[in-house]
């Protein structure tokens, strides 16, 4: 077994034991071939092309973070959270006025990594608060009295904290913890105990049970049984799917399973896990935004822990590739981890805690929160993830360009995730091909433009959950009906009739998507989307429509703290936030006028309103830059 402590010895290069474990993360066929084939990964041609041109990226600037940067973020967060700890050791949320979910064990793990790394002394009051938090968390696990019936999420951070605290606590405390861990009754603790259907909760507690077994407190039988059932939920691209196809919960279980492999899992499902997780790690690279963000899609999107889980997976694969001497691939994953960490750094509040969702409203507002989003819980979930990223990180790995930097690809991830990702030279589009109409509309939902501001693109579409009933808006087309009402592609929940990738090279990418709106009337809409010279170019053609048409663009008005500056002319609109700007321009037809709505709606990133251009022609061309 490779215990947590083996990553704490300050070594600058992976040792033989790490090389052995790296082979549990990288498929044998990959090690045998310098060029990947479709047999190995469905995106092999894109991976090969990327690696060929990786070193040709002229504008690449490494972030050069050291792994201590993880500890700095964790330290700020846990010190901001310490004031919410009660006498029992529980963390009491300042808004909910009670302990919420798995905050306390994640807090314990986050503090434990500061102690084990030497960042703080074991006798520091913060260190002692972490010991106290782990003690009460283990007590509640034994009694099956964890908050909100979220015991599934306790074991992984609790066991990681246990391993990290081991060298620094007294024999009496360790014996007490051993007794508690041994006494856990998983059929009482886990809400999803022995469930076979797809659910990320199952894999979370499965990973925890693996750690308990590794430490000798139980057998591996239960973990093996759950892995066997859950691995059926992986797609050909190595992605995990559950109800609603959420992208945040694609990577969520994968970060636990990748951690299992890194920490020495070698059971019956090891080879299948290895192949799926390796595929998924590369797929995640091609979905990552140039600003380091995990793609938006269904529930829990735009939470800061989305980027923290990327840090974990990318650091694991960076170290695995480095252990095998594959420095180009190692540098790719290291860079992706650093982009994710840089994104997190943009969302730290004045008190050191984080904005848990990508807006800057006061935490009391719960703006853009899910019903289960809680300030302390999701801050500590993120820091627990960053603690894992630190444990798996090596400073000796040199940052090299990632797919998010270079672009040169269009990646349709259609079934079951109904998304298209396109990137050229670090300007990026995420297209939702079939909006769920709760979280995401249909159409362009994310435009992240090199040199611009990620929230201005916009970074998400408008849909009813956060914006109210009948609120649907993407960057995309509308049309007037015979009764003078308006309909939009954004509000439709239909599959496209065709998706075509037209061009993929380092400087230019393009794809075309067609929808049959009313087949019996031969009405269809085609969108041709290109990215060139850090500009997104959209050509929309209406076929079989006689009335007026429009294009909508969701404009951010405020992020909750800062007002977005805007200027609108007949053909162009510019938004500015934090000295970064995005411009929307109508190229064709020429005689148009942009109209800004007075109606404000909430969105996950703040407050937004619509910008519209109206025309009678059957074709419109517009740009974002």
Fold for 418-624, please state it.
Beta-galactosidase; Chain A, domain 5 (2.70.98)
Beta strands in 434-522 (DSSP E): 443-448, 476-480, 486-488, 498-504, 508-518
* Mean pLDDT calculated for residue range 376-404: 97
Q: Is the pLDDT of residue 389 over 50?
A: yes
Cα separation values, 547 from 132, 487, 488, 570, Å = 68, 12, 13, 21
Q: 591 or 529, which is more confident?
A: 529
Interstrand relation of 523-532 and 407-413 (parallel, antiparallel or unpaired): unpaired
What pLDDT does residue 521 have?
92
Per-residue pLDDT tens for 293-324? 999 999 999 999 999 999 999 999 999 999 99
Cβ neighbours for 186, distance < 8 A, ≥ 6 positions apart: 193, 205, 209, 222
* Mean pLDDT calculated for residue range 10-15: 51
Question: d(Cα 342, Cα 295) in Å, to the nearest integer?
Answer: 16
Q: Are 432 and 499 in contact (CB under 8 A)?
A: no
Q: Is the pLDDT of residue 220 over 50?
A: yes
What pLDDT does residue 57 have?
75
Q: How confident is the model at residue 24 (pLDDT cuts 50, 70, 90)?
A: confident
Per-residue pLDDT tens for 352-380? 999 999 999 999 999 999 999 999 999 99
Per-residue pLDDT tens for 169-206? 999 999 999 999 999 999 999 999 999 876 899 999 99
Q: Is the pLDDT of residue 494 over 80?
A: yes
Q: How confident is the model at residue 11 (pLDDT cuts 50, 70, 90)?
A: very low
What is the chain's alpha carbon radius of gyration, rounded to the nearest angstrom?
A: 24
Q: How confident is the model at residue 15 (pLDDT cuts 50, 70, 90)?
A: low
* Mean pLDDT calculated for residue range 441-463: 97
Q: How confident is the model at residue 6 (pLDDT cuts 50, 70, 90)?
A: very low
Q: Are 255 and 284 in contact (CB under 8 A)?
A: no
Question: d(Cα 63, Cα 400) in Å, to the nearest integer?
Answer: 10
Cα separation values, 623 from 160, 419, 476, 558, 566, Å = 49, 21, 12, 23, 17
Sequence spans of domains, the chain = 4-404, 418-624
80 SS3 class: helix
Q: Is the pLDDT of residue 3 over 80?
A: no
Q: Are 365 and 560 in contact (CB under 8 A)?
A: yes
What pLDDT does residue 150 have?
97
Per-residue pLDDT tens for 241-259? 999 999 999 999 999 999 9
What pLDDT does residue 2 have?
38
Q: Is the pLDDT of residue 385 over 70?
A: yes
What pLDDT does residue 574 have?
98
What pLDDT does residue 506 have?
86
Rounded mean pLDDT of the chain? 95
**DSSP state, residue 91:** B
What pLDDT does residue 58 have?
78
Per-residue pLDDT tens for 602-611? 999 999 999 9
Q: Is the pLDDT of residue 381 over 60?
A: yes
What pLDDT does residue 217 have?
97
What pLDDT does residue 14 have?
54
Question: d(Cα 557, Cα 577) in Å, to the nearest integer?
Answer: 10
Phi/psi of residue 503, each to 5°? -150, 140
Question: d(Cα 304, Cα 156) in Å, to the nearest integer?
Answer: 20
Q: Is the pLDDT of residue 560 over 70?
A: yes
* Mean pLDDT calculated for residue range 140-150: 96
Per-residue pLDDT tens for 323-357? 999 999 999 999 999 999 999 999 999 999 999 99
Phi/psi of residue 229, each to 5°? -75, -40
What pLDDT does residue 59 have?
84
Correct CATH for 4-404 of 1.10.8.420, 1.50.10.10, 1.10.3720.10, 1.20.1250.20? 1.50.10.10
Fold agreement between 4-404 and 418-624: no
| H-helix or E-strand spanning residue 537 | strand 535-543
Per-residue pLDDT tens for 60-112? 999 999 999 999 999 999 999 999 999 999 999 999 999 999 999 999 999 99
Cα separation values, 561 from 77, 533, 557, Å = 21, 32, 11
Q: How confident is the model at residue 619 (pLDDT cuts 50, 70, 90)?
A: very high
Confidence (pTM): 0.96
């Amino acid at each position: 077994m490779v215990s947590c402590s083996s990553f704490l010895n300050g070594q600058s290069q992976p040792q033989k034991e790490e090389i052995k474990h790296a082979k549990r993360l990288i498929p044998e066929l990959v090690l045998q071939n310098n060029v990947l084939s479709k047999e190995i990964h469905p995106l092999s041609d894109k991976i090969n092309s990327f690696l060929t041109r990786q070193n040709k990226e002229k504008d690449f600037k490494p972030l050069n973070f050291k792994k201590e940067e993880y500890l700095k973020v964790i330290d700020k967060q846990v010190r901001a959270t310490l004031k919410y700890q009660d006498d029992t050791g529980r963390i009491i949320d300042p808004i909910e006025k009670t302990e919420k979910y798995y905050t306390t064990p994640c807090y314990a793990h986050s503090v434990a990594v500061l102690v084990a790394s030497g960042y703080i002394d074991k006798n520091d009051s913060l260190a002692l608060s972490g010991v106290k938090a782990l003690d009460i968390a283990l007590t509640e696990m034994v009694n099956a009295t964890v908050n909100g019936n979220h015991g599934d999420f306790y074991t992984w951070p609790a066991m990681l904290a246990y391993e990290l605290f081991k060298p620094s606590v007294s024999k009496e405390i360790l014996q007490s913890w051993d007794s508690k861990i041994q006494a856990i009754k998983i059929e009482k603790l886990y809400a999803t105990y022995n469930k076979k259907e797809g659910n990320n909760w199952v894999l979370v507690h499965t990973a925890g049970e693996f750690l308990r077994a590794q430490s000798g407190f139980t057998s591996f039988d239960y973990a093996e049984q759950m892995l066997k059932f859950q691995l059926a939920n992986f797609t050909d691209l190595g992605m995990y799917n559950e109800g609603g196809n959420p992208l945040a919960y694609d990577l969520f279980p994968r970060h636990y399973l990748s951690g299992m492999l890194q920490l020495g899992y070698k059971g019956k499902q090891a080879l299948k896990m290895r192949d799926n997780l390796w595929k998924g790690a590369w797929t995640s690279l091609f979905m990552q935004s140039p600003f380091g963000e995990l793609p938006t899609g269904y529930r829990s999107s735009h939470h800061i822990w989305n980027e923290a889980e990327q840090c974990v997976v990318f650091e694991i694969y960076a170290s695995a590739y480095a252990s095998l001497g594959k420095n180009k691939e190692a540098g790719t994953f290291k860079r992706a981890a650093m982009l994710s960490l840089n994104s997190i750094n943009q969302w730290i509040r004045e008190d050191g805690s984080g904005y848990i969702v990508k807006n800057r409203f006061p935490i009391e507002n719960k703006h853009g929160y899910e019903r289960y989003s809680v300030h302390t819980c999701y801050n500590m979930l993120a820091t627990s993830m960053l603690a894992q990223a630190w444990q798996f990180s090596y400073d000796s790995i040199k940052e090299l360009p990632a797919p998010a930097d270079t672009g040169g690809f269009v990646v349709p991830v259609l079934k079951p995730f109904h998304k298209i990702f396109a990137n050229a030279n670090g300007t990026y589009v995420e297209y939702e091909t079939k909006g769920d109409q709760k979280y995401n509309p249909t159409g362009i939902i994310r435009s992240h433009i090199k040199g611009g501001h990620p929230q201005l693109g916009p970074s998400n579409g408008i849909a009813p959950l956060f914006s109210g009933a009948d609120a649907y808006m993407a960057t995309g087309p509308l049309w007037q009906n015979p009764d003078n009402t308006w309909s939009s592609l954004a509000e439709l929940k239909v599959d496209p009739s065709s998706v075509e990738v037209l061009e993929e090279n380092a400087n230019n990418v393009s794809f075309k998507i067609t929808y049959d709106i009313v087949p019996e009337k031969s009405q269809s809409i085609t969108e041709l989307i290109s990215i060139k010279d850090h500009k997104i170019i959209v050509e929309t053609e209406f076929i079989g429509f006689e009335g007026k048409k429009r294009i909508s663009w969701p404009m951010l008005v405020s992020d909750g703290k800062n007002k977005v500056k805007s200027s609108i002319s007949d053909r162009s609109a510019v938004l500015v936030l934090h000295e970064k700007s995005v411009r929307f321009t109508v190229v064709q037809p020429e005689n148009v006028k942009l109209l800004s709505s007075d109606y404000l709606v909430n969105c996950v990133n703040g407050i937004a309103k619509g910008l519209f251009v109206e025309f009678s022609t059957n074709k419109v061309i517009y740009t974002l830059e």
